Amino acid sequence: MATLNSSNITDGNTIEPTDILQLYDALTPGGGTTGAYNVTVSGSLIGNASTSTSASFATSASRAVSSSFATTASFALNATATVSQVNDQYYIDSSNPSIVSTGNFKFIAGGGILNAGLFISSIYPLLVGKTIGRNAWINASYIGDTGIITAPEPTLVINISGSGQIIIDQLDGNNDATIVWTGVCI
């Protein structure tokens, strides 16, 4: 193993090629100009890589080609550990509450602003043909400055259009309040 000599690398000195040659040789495959060195690192290494060809136990990688147990990755081409849906998802259909059924849930969420007490979302193709309480469950809430809500009973009523849009209607009132929703469907 090479021991790197840094005695000449001090404030005020000129760094000479021989001062960094051992480091170059140690990190060059085949030993660079003077022969191979074995490099042993002890302690903690902290760094950042924007392009990685392989990583094991990576916590973050951008454009990783391969990764095992990656926590996050952008543009990953291959990953050993996969994420899948939770098994055994159960629900009760409001049209037959005595039977527990199974299905694969899909999550949706969004937000917007009521316009005169009404909000109509973009089209969610996965909501086409769904019915609230039967195979779709959506909750909506006011957020932000709720002081602008003047309705005596600011209840939000949620429906799904035939084209898959979420319709949120302020039951009594016509406020322009900000809302968010979350939901699941099967």
pLDDT in tens, 18-67: 777 776 676 666 666 655 555 566 666 566 555 555 555 555 555 555 55
The C-alpha angle with vertex 107 and arms to 102 and 110, in degrees rounded to 5, equals: 150
Using DSSP's 3-state secondary structure scheme, residue 30 falls into helix
**The pTM is what?**
0.49
- Report residue 166's pLDDT band, with 50, 70 and 90 as the boundaries: very high
Distance CA 175, CA 172 (A): 9
Q: Across the chain, where does the E strand assignment appear?
A: 55-56, 61-62, 67-68, 73-74, 90-92, 100-102, 106-113, 118-123, 136-143, 156-160, 165-170, 178-185
pLDDT value at position 6?
72
Confidence of residue 1 (pLDDT cuts 50, 70, 90): very low
